[in-house]
């Protein structure tokens, strides 16, 4: 199952131990790590990405679920982190794009306090024991959430509802008197603009999901190539 993973530690040293353990689990085949980063919360409440695989998975997944999660967990300065990492402001701030619930962000931020450091990763795992055992031994607090596809259904229902409203307004417009037509036309134009924006957002989401899927395939292919070279 594909999941977002956040492990909060008391300091950077432990966080880097956690990052190392995570990659070891990946090397052992217990999990697959698609992207990871180390995020530090500073004493003044600001946050920064301390370490990431900039030449590999993280670079190809920015702007998708993983990049959005980093922006969201950055708190008030999350947008600045996203911008410096190549994210658009909308992507960094978009909870839906992170494909996780708001309660997950709340749970993590209650523990990711100033002077604490988190390992953030997008992973695939069949069971939780390997990660939990290794991270808890280092002193990490583990949070995970399966990536959700529910937002797509909600989005489609929202667009369908707006189109139904638009059809009703157009029907009323055809029968309305001149003074009423102008007001209805204004509402029609506004609603149509909202629908087009929603459709564009859906298109952007599909393209981001496709990029993310392709990036994951490249990660797995690279791992397979390394394993093959070691076996030969």
DSSP reduced 3-state for 74: coil
Q: Furthest-apart CA pair in the chain: how many Å?
A: 81
Mean pLDDT throughout 49-75?
63
What does the pLDDT read at residue 157? 65
Q: Kindly report the pTM of this predicted structure.
A: 0.65
**Per residue in 72-96, pLDDT tens?**
887 544 433 433 444 334 433 456 6
State CA 209 to chain mean position distance: 11
What does the pLDDT read at residue 86? 40
State CA 170 to chain mean position distance: 38
Highest mean pLDDT among 12-16, 95-99, 101-105, 220-224: 12-16
What does the pLDDT read at residue 79? 37
What does the pLDDT read at residue 145? 84
What does the pLDDT read at residue 38? 92
Work out the pLDDT band at 155, boundaries 50, 70, 90. low
Tokens read off for 177: 């008197």
Q: Among residues of the chain, what percentage have pLDDT more than 90?
A: 24
Look over the chain and give the mean of its residue pLDDT values, rounded to a whole number: 78
Say which residue the tokens 């496709």 belong to.
210
45 and 183 Cβ atoms separated by less than 8 Å: no
Say which residue the tokens 């980063």 belong to.
37
More confident residue, 10 or 129: 10
Ramachandran angles phi, psi of 176, nearest 5°: -80, 160
Q: Which of 224, 219, 164, 171 is nearest to 195 (CA)?
A: 164
């Amino acid at each position: 199952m594909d999941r977002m993973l956040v492990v909060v530690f008391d300091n950077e040293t432990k966080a880097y131990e956690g990052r190392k353990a995570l990659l070891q689990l990946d090397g052992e085949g217990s999990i697959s790590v698609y992207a990871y980063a180390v995020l530090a919360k500073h004493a003044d409440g600001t946050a920064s990405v301390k370490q990431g695989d900039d030449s590999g998975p993280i670079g190809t997944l920015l702007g998708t679920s993983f990049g959005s999660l980093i922006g969201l967990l950055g708190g008030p300065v999350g947008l600045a982190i996203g911008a410096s990492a190549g994210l658009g402001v909308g992507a960094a701030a978009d909870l839906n794009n992170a494909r996780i619930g708001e309660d997950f962000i709340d749970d993590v931020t209650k523990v990711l306090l100033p002077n604490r450091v988190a390992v953030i990763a997008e992973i695939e795992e069949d069971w939780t024991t390997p990660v939990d055992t290794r991270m808890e031994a280092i002193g990490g607090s583990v949070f995970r959430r399966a990536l959700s596809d529910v937002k797509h259904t909600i989005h489609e229902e929202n667009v369908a509802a707006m189109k139904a409203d638009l059809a009703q307004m157009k029907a009323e417009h055809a029968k309305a008197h001149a003074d009423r037509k102008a007001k209805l036309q204004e509402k029609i134009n506004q609603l149509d603009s909202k629908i087009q924006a929603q459709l564009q957002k859906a298109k952007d989401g599909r393209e981001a999901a496709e990029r993310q899927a392709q990036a994951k395939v490249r990660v797995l292919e690279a791992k397979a190539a390394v394993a093959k070279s070691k076996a030969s």
